[in-house]
Amino acid sequence: MSMSDPIADLLARIRNAVQARHATVDAPYSRLKAEICRILKEQGFINAFEVAEDPKPGLIRITLRYLPDGTSVLHGLRRVSKPSLRVYVGHDCIRPVRSGLGVSILSTPRGVMTGKTAQRSKAGGEVICEVW
C-alpha cells in the first residue's frame, strides 16, 4: 500500500485519536512528521512525542493533551498544502489562523516553523497545515 500523503495521514490519526479520547497515537516516522510534532508540542497542543524504538522502530508515539475536564486542547487540524495542490506563501502573506487562536505550520528553507516565526525571520514557504 503506497500512501500519497503521509502528512494528511498523520493529521487524520491525531484527529481520530482526539475524537476517540485516546491517550496516545502512533504514526509512521519521518523527519517532517517529527518536526510537525515538535511544533505541536512547543505550541502546547500535545504533551509529548517520541520516536519509539521498542515495539518497532520507525514509529512516532504522540501523547495527546487534555484539559482537567477531559476536553482536548486540540480542536482542529487542517491540511492546507496537498500533493495535488501545493500552497506557498511569502513571509508577508502569512495569515493568522482563527484570529490568532491557532497556528499555521510552514516548511521553509530555514526548516519547519510556525507562521509567526516565519514572519519574524522573513521566510516564506509551503503551508503544511493549520492547527487550532
Cα end-to-end span (Å), the chain: 31
pLDDT at 1: 44
Residue 131 pLDDT exceeds 70: yes
Secondary structure of residue 28 in the 3-state scheme: strand
**Cα–Cα distance, 55 to 26 (Å, whole number):** 11
* Residue 110 DSSP label: T
pLDDT tens per residue, range 63-112: 999 999 999 999 999 999 999 999 999 999 999 999 999 999 999 999 99
| Cell numbers placing 68 | 482537567
| Phi, psi values for residue 18, rounded to 5° | -65, -45
Domain 77-131 bears CATH identifier 3.30.1490.10 = yes
The sheet carrying 24-28 orders its strands as 24-28, 59-64, 46-52
Which residue bears the cell 479520547? 21
Domain 6-64 bears CATH identifier 3.30.1370.30 = yes
pLDDT tens per residue, range 27-50: 999 999 999 999 999 999 999 999
Q: Is the pTM of this model over 0.75?
A: yes
Where do the structural domains in the chain lie, given as residue ranges? 6-64, 77-131
pLDDT at 55: 65
